[in-house]
Structure formats: structure tokens, C-alpha cells
Amino acid sequence: WPLRPVPLGDHKGKEIVCRFASSVQSGELFYTDTNGRRSIERKRLEGSPVASNFYPVTSWAFLASESQGVQLTVFPDRPQGAASLASGNLEFLIQRRLIGGRGVPVRGRHWLHIGTIADSQEYLRIFANRLVYGPQLSLVDARQPYFTNLTQREWSGLRSELPKHVHVLTLERVSGDKLLVRLEYQAPEMPEYANTTQLHISRLLKNQDIYHILETSLGSTQDKAEMVRFVWRRGSGQLPAVSQEQRMRVWLKRGYHPRFEDTVVLHPGEIRTFVARTEKVRPLPES
């Protein structure tokens, strides 16, 4: 959708909304994402100002009808406000023109997906990831000798296909042979995905052996074996001192590194962080 500068001949601020009208019997409910992690139910506030019904959207918003068995999902190309001011409608706030300034043109995209509820939930995070983690395209002169003699047209850094809905969230070389890895299980919010999934982290990368694997906190600032969570004390008045039993638990955890199993088990929605060392796979000598 292209949008020219919004005129201000009447000297009043204006907001431009893109509306998707459908026959989906969604009633007063619609759903938005929570920063690309999960979906949260929203309920239209009848009789409230229009602005009270707009919610932030970063990755997706959708309507669903259990009676029709259909879901309508819209993926924006940037964070926007979204609302459902009538059953079957989705509105996205795409431009706001204030009285000050000269106004600028805007161009953007919305991707629309319509399908059954089950298929749409399966497709939800897959397409959202494709938008966020799309490939960076570069243009080169293909007539150069290096490209004319190129025989390998495809490449993947993974040794094998990941389990369904498992996402490599972070793969970063920290220093030397030290690697930071975060794995996320983006399971659809359906009963059939309530169980765990697993993979072998040492065999994650092609041509690289991963060893000396250490699980850390989410931010990789503490070893998980030594991590001590903050204890929130409920109630009012002066906070009691930390008990000797708590101090002993902290002391016992320090320096304790349990043997890490190669099999990583992930629960739905869980993110696990690891720091490991890598070594290039050496080809076996010819006999």
C-alpha cells in the first residue's frame, strides 16, 4: 500500500487506517501477538473511544470463528496499532499526521492468510519468522570467473533438519572457538503441541563438532548450575535478613557443574541458552 502525505487543509490531525473486512464471525474478540512470542485475546470495549480499542502489534493479528472453523491472519511489515471495531473487521493504524511538519509519503505491506484454525496456527510463527529473519540480498556481477565456475548453489549450516517448530534464536561466535547458542521451541498454541521436543545439540552444525557445552541463564551471564534466583518477599514492613539456610544453598551451588547430557529437551514456548566450544570436523585419513 502506497500512501501520499496526508493533507491538512482543515488544520486538524488525522490518522489513516487500513481495514480488512470479512465474513468471519469473530464477535467482539480478536487476537494480537505479545512481541512475537504468544497470542493474547483482546475484547472490544463497546461505548469506549476508538483509541481505547487499539492494541500494539509487532508480528501478527487475527480473527477466529470456532463455528466457521476459519481464521483470518494479517502480518504487518512493521509495528502498528490494531483493532477490531466490528465483527469480521481488522483495522491497522498505518499513518498519523499531526499539525506540525510537512508530511511524508509512506509505503508498506500487509500479508493476509485465510485458512482453518489448525492450519493457521501451524503457519503463524513460520511466516512471522520469515518476515523478521528474511535473507539479506546482495547483487554481484555473475560474469566474474568465481561465479561462472560456481558448482554449489545451495548451502545450509545445519547438519540435519531441526525438529518441527524449533528455532535457532541465536548463533553467535563470542570469542575464538566459543559459541553462544539459543534454542526456542515455538510450538503452536494447540493441545497436540503440549508435549516436549528434543534434539542433540552436539550435532547441530555441519562441519563443526560442539563440545564442552554449558547451559547458562537466558542472558548468558550466569552458569545455570550456579544461578540463584532472587527471592521476592511478600508483605509489608522491614525485610527479614537472608537466612543461613539460603546462604548455604548459594555456597553449595558455586563451582558445581553437573555433567551435561547431549539431548536438549524443550518445553512449548521455552528458550534455553548454551555456551559451548566448537572444532572443525576433520576428514578421516584415506586408508
pTM equals 0.80
Percent of the chain with pLDDT over 90: 49
Digit-coded pLDDT (tens) for 175-213: 888 999 999 999 998 999 999 999 999 889 988 888 888
Position with higher pLDDT, 142 vs 112: 112
- In the predicted model, what is the mean pLDDT of residues 18-47? 94
Question: 265 is written with which cell numbers?
Answer: 529437551
pLDDT category at 5 given cuts 50, 70, 90 is confident
pLDDT at residue 257, rounded to an integer: 52
Identify each DSSP E strand in the chain by its residue range: 2-3, 14-21, 29-33, 39-43, 55-57, 61-65, 70-76, 80-83, 89-97, 106-107, 110-116, 166-175, 178-185, 197-200, 208-216, 263-266, 271-280
Amino acid at 63: L
Which of these ranges, 49-58, 159-168, 258-267, 269-278, has the smallest mean pLDDT?
258-267
Digit-coded pLDDT (tens) for 239-287: 555 555 555 555 555 554 555 668 899 999 999 999 998 888 766 565 5
Q: Which residue has the cell 553449595?
A: 252
List the domains of the chain with CATH numbers. Answer: 2-133 (2.70.98.30), 158-228+259-282 (2.60.40.1360)
pLDDT at residue 33, rounded to an integer: 95
Q: Quick one: how far is CA 92 from the chain centroid?
A: 20
* Max mean pLDDT range (41-50, 75-84, 126-135): 75-84
| Cα distance between residue 226 and residue 270, in whole Å | 20
